Amino acid sequence: MKGKSTPVVQDMAVVRSQDIVQLLDHLIVNNTTPRQSEAVDCAAFRRFLLYLGIDSTSTPTDVRIEVQFLDRWTGAWHTYKQGPFASMYFEDQDTASGVYECFEGECMGRALRLKVTGSGTSGSAYFDISAAVEFRN
């Protein structure tokens, strides 16, 4: 074998957030009222990794997950529309036995939050959602 795999120059250091931030912890979505997580500061980072855990009981129709970023000048929240975040819906057929997925995106603002909206939900047909986010440069 010729050469060594030891790096001589570090091209890019990966700097991660100290902890994974829990945005939603078993949030029960049992009506069509949109719900938002607490805002998390992400100004120091360029990328995020969103972890989702979604389960459903009975037969709700679907749930929409939106990542939103804060416009610091107007105070308005804007929905992130890149890649899978453009239309992130989960149906009850997919979540009946539990879905655990993660998605990567770019930090486009100073603060991030999640917005969750259910459809066809009721007291007996609902979604149980947990979400966390990790940031990195």
State both tokens at 33: 């009222």
Measured between alpha carbons, how far is 97 from 128 in angstroms, rounded to an integer?
11
Residue with the larger pLDDT of the pair 25 and 7: 25
Cβ atoms of 57 and 125 closer than 8 Å: yes
Q: In terms of C-beta density within 10 A (0-12 exposed, 13-18 middle, 19 or more buried), how is residue 56 classed?
A: buried
Q: For residue 47, what are its two tokens?
A: 């990328």
For the record, the structure tokens of 70 come out as 């804060």
> How much is the pLDDT for 8?
46
Domain ranges of the chain: 21-136
**What is the rounded distance in angstroms from the CA atom of residue 78 to the CA atom of residue 58?**
32
Q: pLDDT tens-digit profile of 27-84?
A: 999 999 999 999 999 998 999 999 999 999 998 999 999 999 999 899 999 999 999 9
Is residue 1 predicted with pLDDT exceeding 60?
A: no
Superfamily of domain 21-136: GOLD domain (2.60.120.680)
Above 70 in pLDDT, residue 9?
Answer: no
Tokens of 126: 């609902």
Confidence category of residue 93, pLDDT binned at 50, 70, 90: confident
How far, in whole angstroms, is CA 106 from its chain's centroid? Answer: 12
* Predicted structure pTM score: 0.85
